[in-house]
Amino acid sequence: MKKSTRIGLILAIILVAALAALAEWLVIRDDDITKNPNGLITSVKMGGAFNLIDHKGNTVTEKNFLGNYVLVFFGYTFCPDVCPTALADVALVLDELGRDSMAVTPIMITIDPKRDKPDVLSEYITLFHDRIIGLTGTEKQIKEVAEKYRVFYRRVDDQEYSFYLMDHTSFIYLVDPKGTVISLFRYGTPPSEIADTIRKHMKG
């Protein structure tokens, strides 16, 4: 299990590295990662401070989430295929963790703040899990947090439609109770694998 998680992360790193030509800041290098003697990753150099608005309209920062593990996902509510799958996976991770899931806060940060206002986020996230917190902000605030998590996103307009879609990277990030990113999972990682990783960290 430990091994598959590690291989998964290594694969993720290789793939992310392959994007080097596209955007230098997206790259996670070996020296961005710190491990403990057991080989468990204790920090990935990304993430950090943010200033956003939650789906109830309250201003929140990274400090509001300290003390709990946090699962962070970047997406947008108009996305009908990939984002619902990822959010359903997050809900399954919580199910899998049972009561331990109370120590995990799931967060969706929109990369489409123009349309994803708090009320839009609010109705959407409750379709998946009662405890998911939706975060939005100004375009600048979103750009800042996305850069910290090395999220790539781009608006895609099409003359055929009166609205637009977004291209985006869709990792799920695990942040520890101190606010340090400790894992990232590629789209499609089985929820049981994510839950196992979280459990391993909970045990230390």
Residue 187 touching other proteins (CB under 8 A): yes
Give the span between the Cα atoms of 162 and 164, in whole angstroms: 7
Shortest Å, Cβ 170 to other proteins:
5
* β-pair partners for 52: 60
Concatenated DSSP letters of 94-137: HHHHGGGGGGEEEEEEES-TTT--HHHHHHHHTTT-TT-EEEE-
In the list 120, 133, 182, 194, the residue contacting other proteins (rule: CB under 8 A) is 120
Which value, in Å, is the radius of gyration of the alpha carbons in the chain? 16
Which window, 47-55, 62-70, 99-107, 151-159, contacts other proteins (CB under 8 A)? 151-159
Site for other proteins in 28-87 (CB under 8 A): 77-82, 84-85, 87
| Residues contacting residue 130 through CB under 8 Å, at least 6 positions apart | none
Q: Which chain residues interact with other proteins by CB under 8 A?
A: 12, 15-16, 18-19, 22, 77-82, 84-85, 87-89, 91-92, 95, 115, 119-120, 123-124, 127-128, 152, 156, 158, 160-163, 165, 167-171, 186-188, 190-193
